[in-house]
């Protein structure tokens, strides 16, 4: 039987720099092995010690990544460090606030509804927790956009731009994970809880396009396309392309925020950011209602992203030209 | 562009003190001897940074005989690290005399 941490080491060695492996990952894994191999009085105690050792391993990885992100630029100044912390804190805070704001109406509707069947308090808590992933496709881009606009009050230096773009990529990857895997599972779990515990219906609901995993969704599209197109197939294809297009939003919003902070007045930048934010999601809803049926699902899913990207490029070129010729 | 002034962060000063007292220590021993002032998750990142600054040095112990066993890293202070800590403590004393708030 191999020692604990051997597999982790082989995975980590493909991801991290050899120096990181030698000075951070290697020593942590050596400690992990020692702790897990040490003779413990009971099985529970041994399991607990190993679990703690694995948790410490991951916290060391996170600490290393965090430090690398903060130390990423050799030319950073004290002002840059303050701005970096503010971007991270503001993005997290605004994301959390937007998530809460999006959840509150549904929560109060459920509690205030006269027709609501009586449910246990723990069922209400489970339902609220299952709704949280639903808010992330809106709250993560909002955190990215307004967090950057609120924190960076003057034209960003190169290190700030790099940090914001790295943060945008990280948020996009996180979003992809949420939209691709977590949200469909949470959706289905929510429906099952509502059917079984609230409506007292023992038969679990059938999965829709938004509740299917990647593989199930692809299989359904492939199966339906052999039998010819139908509105349901179109809906499945739209859901599939949206899952690919929506995770790009945090990165695109980060790029837009970096363009907007060049404006002299921060409040105007925030107002323009708000307009873009509302416009993006309005366009997403409208494109589904109006263009669906005339445009391909691929075009419908990517249209809001492409519009914002085009706007970002246009504004970026404008600011670059005006700064080159000295006008304000 | 001016950089922020160089200081010896409290955690690095603590690690240097512990290593000077003990001579050589593992990461986990440092955590145990710091009485919860150092965290297990972050101690190796701090140690790696201190090694880059040449305040400490490290060596690998022989790996355990069992298959897949990993070698542990042992840390010790460098002469530079000892001098930096001594200078930092001296500075703290002087600053403490000038402004008692600094000594707290």
Predicted pLDDT at A110:
63
Q: What is the pLDDT of residues A220-254, one digit of tens each?
A: 888 777 766 666 777 788 888 888 899 999 999 99
Q: Is residue A193 a contact partner of residue A123, using CB atoms and an 8 Å limit?
A: yes
Is B53 in CB contact (< 8 Å) with chain A? no
Residues of B in contact with A67 (CB under 8 A): 45, 49
Of B40, B45, B51, the CB nearest to A64: B45
Is B71 in CB contact (< 8 Å) with chain A? yes
Q: What is the pLDDT of residues A1-24, one digit of tens each?
A: 567 777 778 877 777 778 788 888
Is A209 in CB contact (< 8 Å) with chain B? no
CB contact under 8 A, A3 and B71: no
Q: How many H-runs (helices) and E-runs (strands) does chain A carry? A: 13, 0
Q: Taking CA atoms, what residue in A is nearest to B5?
A: A78
- Show the low-confidence residues of chain B (pLDDT under 50): 1-5
B28-40 as b/e: b if 16+ CB within 10 A? bebbebbeeebbb
Q: How far apart are CA A183 and CA A210, in angstroms?
A: 8
CB contact under 8 A, B45 and A60: yes
Is B27 in CB contact (< 8 Å) with chain A? yes
User: Is the pLDDT at A40 greater than 70, yes or no?
Assistant: no
What is the DSSP secondary-structure string of B39-90?
-HHHHHHHHHHHHHTTSEEEEEPPPPSSTTPPPPEEEEE-HHHHHHHHHHHH
User: Is the pLDDT at A73 greater than 70, yes or no?
Assistant: no
CB contact under 8 A, A9 and B58: no
User: Is the pLDDT at A326 greater than 60, yes or no?
Assistant: no
Q: What is the pLDDT of residues A127-182, one digit of tens each?
A: 778 888 888 889 999 999 998 888 887 667 777 888 888 889 989 999 998 988 88
CB contact under 8 A, A77 and B1: yes
Q: Which residues 6+ apart lie within 8 Å of B14 measured at CB?
A: B34, B37, B38
Q: Work out the pLDDT band at A76, boundaries 50, 70, 90.
A: low
Is B7 in CB contact (< 8 Å) with chain A? no
Average pLDDT over chain A reads 80
Predicted pLDDT at B2:
40
Predicted pLDDT at B3:
43
Residues of B in contact with A28 (CB under 8 A): 27, 44
Is A77 in CB contact (< 8 Å) with chain B? yes
Q: Is residue A98 a contact partner of residue A139, using CB atoms and an 8 Å limit?
A: yes
Please enumerate, as own/partner, the contacts of A111-117 that have beta carbons within 8 Å and a separation of 24 or more.
Answer: A116/A198, A117/A198, A117/A199, A117/A200
């Amino acid at each position: 039987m191999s020692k604990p941490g051997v597999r982790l080491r082989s995975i980590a060695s493909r991801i991290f720099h050899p120096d990181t492996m030698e000075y951070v990952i290697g020593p942590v894994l050596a400690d992990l092995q020692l702790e897990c191999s040490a003779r413990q009085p009971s099985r529970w105690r041994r399991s607990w010690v190993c679990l703690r050792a694995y948790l410490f391993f991951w916290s060391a990885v996170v600490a290393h990544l965090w430090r690398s992100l903060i130390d990423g630029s050799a030319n950073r100044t004290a002002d840059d460090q303050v701005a970096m912390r503010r971007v991270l804190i503001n993005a997290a805070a605004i994301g959390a606030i937007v998530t809460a704001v999006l959840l509150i109406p549904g929560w109060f509707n459920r509690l205030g509804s006269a027709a609501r069947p009586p449910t246990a308090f723990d069922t209400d808590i489970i339902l609220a927790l299952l709704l949280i992933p639903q808010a992330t496709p809106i709250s993560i881009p909002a955190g990215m956009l307004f967090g950057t606009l609120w924190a960076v009050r003057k034209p960003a230096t190169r290190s700030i731009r790099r940090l914001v773009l790295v943060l945008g990529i990280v948020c996009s990857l996180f979003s992809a994970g949420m939209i691709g895997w977590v949200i469909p599972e949470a959706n289905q779990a929510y429906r099952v809880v509502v059917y079984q515990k609230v409506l007292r219906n023992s038969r679990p609901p059938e999965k829709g396009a938004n509740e299917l995993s990647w593989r199930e969704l692809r299989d359904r599209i492939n199966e339906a396309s052999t039998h010819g197109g139908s509105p349901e197939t179109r809906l499945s294809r739209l859901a599939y392309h949206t899952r690919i297009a929506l995770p790009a939003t945090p990165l695109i919003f980060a790029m837009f925020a970096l363009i907007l902070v060049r404006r002299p007045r921060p409040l105007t930048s925030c107002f323009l950011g708000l307009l873009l934010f509302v416009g993006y999601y309005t366009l997403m809803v409208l494109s589904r209602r109006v263009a669906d049926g005339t445009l391909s699902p691929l075009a419908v899913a990517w249209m809001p992203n492409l519009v914002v990207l085009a706007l970002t490029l246009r504004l970026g070129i404008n600011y670059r030209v005006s700064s080159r010729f000295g006008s304000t | 562009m001016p950089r922020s002034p160089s200081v010896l962060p409290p955690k690095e000063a603590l690690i240097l003190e512990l290593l000077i007292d003990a001579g050589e220590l593992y990461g986990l021993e440092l955590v145990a001897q710091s009485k919860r002032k150092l965290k297990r998750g972050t101690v190796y990142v701090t140690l790696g940074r201190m090694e880059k600054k040449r305040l400490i040095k490290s060596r690998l112990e022989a790996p355990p005989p069992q298959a897949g066993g990993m070698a542990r890293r042992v840390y010790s202070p460098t002469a530079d690290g000892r001098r930096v800590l001594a200078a930092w403590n001296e500075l703290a004393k002087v600053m403490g005399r000038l402004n008692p708030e600094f000594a707290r």
